[in-house]
Amino acid sequence: MILDKMRLDGKVALVTGASRGLGRGMALGLAEAGADLAVVARSLERLEGVAGEVRALGRRCLPLRADVSREEDVKKMVEGVLGRFGRIDVLVNNAGINYREASEDYPLDEWERVLSVNLTGVFLCCREVGRVMIRQRRGKIINVASLTSIIGVRNIPAYSASKGGVAQLTKVLAVEWARYNIQVNAIGPGYFRTDLTEPLFQDPVRREWITSRIPMGRWGTPEDLKGAVVFLASEASDYITGQVLFVDGGWLAG
């Protein structure tokens, strides 16, 4: 039955950048659907709080410290999850950062820092977890893209380039790994109020312009992503791969 296919009981999901914001929201959504969780970020302290919230839902949770841009960290992260749970059914590549500056003034070190987390980090996690999923002959990878994967927004050249890359990487992996029964999709959030977007939200002119541009008339909340991530993590989406599902209150329709 279709609603049973949406459940994630007994599945193991790994969510990067899960200590706050959208990653925390998606981790809780996956746990509500039945999954056990491994939650990852650079600071363990906030992850412990999220792990407590997951356990309060009756699921197991392993908090792990890792910087997704570092190959050694990603390898240890995967070993840690396998050591605890023995498998990885779902990977959500959510960890991401931004740096805002006019392109003509954009420092190279910031360009490289953003690309290393948002694009190289996604690649490393896909490669390492992908090897596990290939052995399992099953898996779901969900990358977090953005409106800026496909539209131009001023002053975020590195972020937009990284998110365009994430959308393309998603398609390449979907094509390569379809034969192993691994589906690779992305979620493209519109504007959600988190630490990442707080500077925009605090700027009354930017905030008003963004809000007026969203057909649904409001910014998203982490709750708004739960349905999309659970669907793409579940058997209900088994014939969907290589897609970017935009969760944007209608932004791209306008």
Ligand X SMILES: NC(=O)c1ccc[n+]([C@@H]2O[C@H](COP(=O)([O-])OP(=O)(O)OC[C@H]3O[C@@H](n4cnc5c(N)ncnc54)[C@H](OP(=O)(O)O)[C@@H]3O)[C@@H](O)[C@H]2O)c1
Q: Which residues does the annotation mark as catalytic? A: 159
The two structure tokens encoding residue 152: 């131009």
The minimum distance between CB 49 and ligand X, in angstroms, equals 11
Q: Which residues pair with 36 in a beta bridge?
A: 12
The minimum distance between CB 4 and ligand X, in angstroms, equals 29
Select the residue interacting with ligand X from 146, 237, 241, 243 (CB under 6 A).
146
Are 132 and 88 in contact by the 8 Å Cβ rule? The answer is: yes
Nearer to ligand X, 14 or 144 (CB): 144
Helix, strand, or coil (residue 139): strand
Cβ atoms within 10 Å, residue 241: 21
Are 42 and 67 in contact by the 8 Å Cβ rule? The answer is: yes
21 belongs to the binding site for ligand X (CB under 6 A): yes
**Judged by CB under 6 A, which stretch of 18-26, 82-90, 124-132, 172-180 contacts ligand X?**
18-26
**Judged by CB under 6 A, which stretch of 64-72, 82-90, 169-177, 226-234 contacts ligand X?**
64-72
Select the residue interacting with ligand X from 85, 111, 177, 191 (CB under 6 A).
191
41 belongs to the binding site for ligand X (CB under 6 A): yes
Residues 6+ away with beta carbon under 8 Å from 193: 201, 219, 220, 221
The minimum distance between CB 74 and ligand X, in angstroms, equals 9
Binding residues for ligand X, rule CB under 6 A, total 31
Per-residue burial over 119-150, b if 16 or more Cβ lie within 10 Å, else e, is: bbbbbbbbebbbebbbeeeebbbbbbbbbbbe
Are 96 and 117 in contact by the 8 Å Cβ rule? The answer is: yes
Angle CA(145)–CA(148)–CA(152) in degrees, nearest 5? 165
Greatest CA separation for the chain: 55
Select the residue interacting with ligand X from 160, 183, 185, 197 (CB under 6 A).
197
Nearer to ligand X, 183 or 194 (CB): 194
**Judged by CB under 6 A, which stretch of 6-14, 60-68, 75-83, 169-177 contacts ligand X?**
60-68
Calculate Rg over the CA atoms of the chain: 17
Are 207 and 200 in contact by the 8 Å Cβ rule? The answer is: yes
196 belongs to the binding site for ligand X (CB under 6 A): yes
Nearer to ligand X, 146 or 241 (CB): 146
**Judged by CB under 6 A, which stretch of 40-48, 169-177, 227-235, 239-247 contacts ligand X?**
40-48
> Which residues within the stretch 83-112 sit at the binding site for ligand X (CB under 6 A)?
94-97
69 belongs to the binding site for ligand X (CB under 6 A): yes
Type of residue numbered 47? L
Are 219 and 225 in contact by the 8 Å Cβ rule? The answer is: no
- Residues lying near ligand X in the complex (CB under 6 A) are found at 16-23, 40-43, 66-69, 94-97, 117, 121, 144, 146, 189, 191-192, 194-197
